[in-house]
Structure 1
Amino acid sequence: MKEWAAGMALAWAAMDAAQASTIVDYALLRPEGRRHYLVVEPDRLARDNRPTVILLHGHGASAAFMVGLASFGTYRSQDWIRLAERERVMLIAPDGIKGSDGKQAWNDCRLDAASNATSDDVGFIAALIDTAVNELGADPERIYVYGSSNGGGMAYRLGIELAPRLAAIGVQSALMAMQTRCRAPAHPISVFASHGTADEIAPYNGGRVGHWLLRDRGSGISAEESVAVWRRLAGLPETPLSFRMPHLQSSDPTSATRYVWGNDPARVQIQFMRIDGGGHTASSKVEELPWILRKIVGNMNHDVDTAEEAWNFFKDKRVNGPR
């Protein structure tokens, strides 16, 4: 059952005054209590058959951060809402539930992540998809999930448990679980992933997740092996097409390379963005992390926009498209 959460409608003014979005705060009643989520509806968005991206925040972050309404320290990310306004995509950003450390989190597959939430988040997202299709005009053929960090781990879990309902998943700075509570993936699905080689929170080569500010976060396999799990499931060849992205800023110490397995965008594909020298953060051509946040998460790449890369990968995928 869906209900209003204080009936709050928020008008969002983009940098380009000709474009805007309405952001509405809803709640969904679940066995664990009331679950909040934000819905972003750009101007001129179709009434029905709306392509929809579900955005899952990282550990300690929020739905409001994912759609640019809240900051992390002094950093406010607006890449997804700018993309939604330009491409006329509906965004749905749910909130996780607080774990044992008091921070909002998701119940991803990591068996050894003691500070994760313990809620039925797969059931919550499944119910959210039902609501999106039945009440918000979402196109059931074009439901995509994108998550960062702990939200990326949750996206991997949804790829395992809800794959037949999803056109594709996207993961930024997250690893498949080393000690897992989930079964192995069994349904091929298109996967986009991006990971920095200098990520010290979710180590590129796998191992213990977290740092001095983030404890009890479990462990993961390497970023490359996380992608390879899905590539092998899809029966795609070992050798990818690769493209080194043009370097746009001489002061940027990072670089980006795109790897793609599968040559038909309408079929199952796997795409991996390796960010050499990149930290535990998305890439952006126009945004920059404040210095204090760079000390915590590492360097941001400025050769690509992670949101753009994910959407360009998603947009041709369909739930019942050719496999």
Structure 2
Amino acid sequence: MPSYSRLKSVLKAAFRGSRESVATGLRPVTATLDRPEGRRRYLIAVPARPGPGKRALVVVLHGAFLSAEQVLGLAFPPSPLSLWLDIAEREQLVVVAPDAGKGGWNDCFASAARVARKNDVAFIEAVIDRAIAEHEVDPQRVYLIGMSRGGHMAYRLAIEIPHRLAAFSTVLANMPPPGRARMPVVALPVLVFGATADPLMPYHGGKYLYVLGFLDRVSSIEESVKVWRELAGLPDMPDASYPIEREAGGKTSVTCSMWGQAPDGLQVGLYRIERGGHVEPSRRKRYPWFITALVGAQNADIEVAEAAWEFFRHKRAGLPANR
């Protein structure tokens, strides 16, 4: 019979999920900015040791009903995107997680009237400006990643301030259908993660009846990728497409497709997660069973933050037209 301490640890793991990490002690601190809509807050993590030069900046955007603390692992349930803190210490990056605050993000679906009351693009751009001014951030190496509604916010930022970004990534977030919102006019490198069994963001587009008024009708994930691929002048067929090695016994699988051959060039990528749900893929940060029972299976074949960093690391703002 297991000891009481062993039983306690098993129950704790079942309800909290796995939080295994090799974090080196880099912890975010709270910062604020006064904006027209009021005081806004965000978390920022800066490596303690001096870097060899200017640092890259990664902006991490949380999902609906969540927070900056959740996406950086300080609140339940800790997101796999919190592994950006490990990457930041290892690679000498600055990481910021803006907080949407009351009402959530005014993302790519938001009306002009709503944006006038709380302009999240202007807030996040001000966070970027402060990081550049105060933390030796290279303005040519600003990267952006958003999960779910944070991904919708990432699309809006990529459409409205593409000149501030070197590349961006969306995790389980589809673009609006044509005519529903502004479409991009400036090409950017983008990495998209989509799951075919996502119960909230339909991989094939549209809208599930049971989400009622909470979510809007969306384009498919592959149509979302196509918008950016065509804008970049990339061909219909990917330059590379390959399956990711599967975890033994895993219920999901992943195929990576990449348009554009140069890691420092104008690439568009798609990680298609077969049978995956509305949950960030991760080997090391596992959500508890009762969350995946609601939102679907969590893939363990890829580490979402590491895959995004591998895509980001060589890219700089102001890329020339596709080579």
Using a 3 Å threshold, how does the CA distance of structure 1 residues 302 and 162 change in structure 2: closer, same or farther? same
- Number of aligned residue pairs: give it: 299
Amino acid at match of 2:71: M
Matches within 5 A, 1:154-193: 154-178=153-177, 182-193=181-192
* Match in the other structure for 1:233: 231
Matches within 5 A, 1:29-108: 29-44=34-49, 46=51, 49-72=54-77, 75=78, 77=80, 78-99=82-103, 105-108=104-107
Runs of 4+ in 1 over 6 A off after TM superposition: 114-117
* Cα separation, 2, equivalents of 1:123 and 1:137: 21
CA RMSD of aligned residues (A): 2.3
* Match in the other structure for 2:125: 126
Q: Give the TM-score of the pair, scaled to structure 1.
A: 0.86
- Give the deviation of 1:245 after TM superposition: 0.3
Counting aligned pairs with the same residue, the percent is: 41
Segments of 5+ residues of structure 2 without an aligned counterpart are 1-19
Structure with the higher fraction of residues in strand conformation: 1
Give CA deviations for 1:24-67 in whole Å, capped at 9, x if unaligned. 21001111111101001234352851111000000011111111
Give CA deviations for 1:84-126 in whole Å, capped at 9, x if unaligned. 2222221000000322xxxxx21111258x9999621111111
Q: Give the TM-score of the pair, scaled to structure 2.
A: 0.86
* Match in the other structure for 1:148: 147
Amino acid at match of 1:122: V
Larger radius of gyration: 2
Segments of 5+ residues of structure 1 without an aligned counterpart are 1-13, 100-104
- SS in structure 2 opposite 1:271? strand
Query: 2:229·2:259 contact (CA, 8 Å) conserved in 1?
Result: yes
Amino acid at match of 1:28: L
- Give the deviation of 1:16 after TM superposition: 4.4
* Cα separation, 2, equivalents of 1:57 and 1:181: 23
Query: 2:146·2:169 contact (CA, 8 Å) conserved in 1?
Result: yes
Amino acid at match of 2:301: D
Using a 3 Å threshold, how does the CA distance of structure 1 residues 16 and 59 change in structure 2: closer, same or farther? closer
* Match in the other structure for 1:307: 305
* Cα separation, 2, equivalents of 1:220 and 1:118: 24
- Give the deviation of 1:309 after TM superposition: 0.7
- Give the deviation of 1:321 after TM superposition: 3.5
- SS in structure 2 opposite 1:97? coil
Match status 1:294 vs 2:298:
no
* Match in the other structure for 1:5: none
* Cα separation, 2, equivalents of 1:35 and 1:180: 31
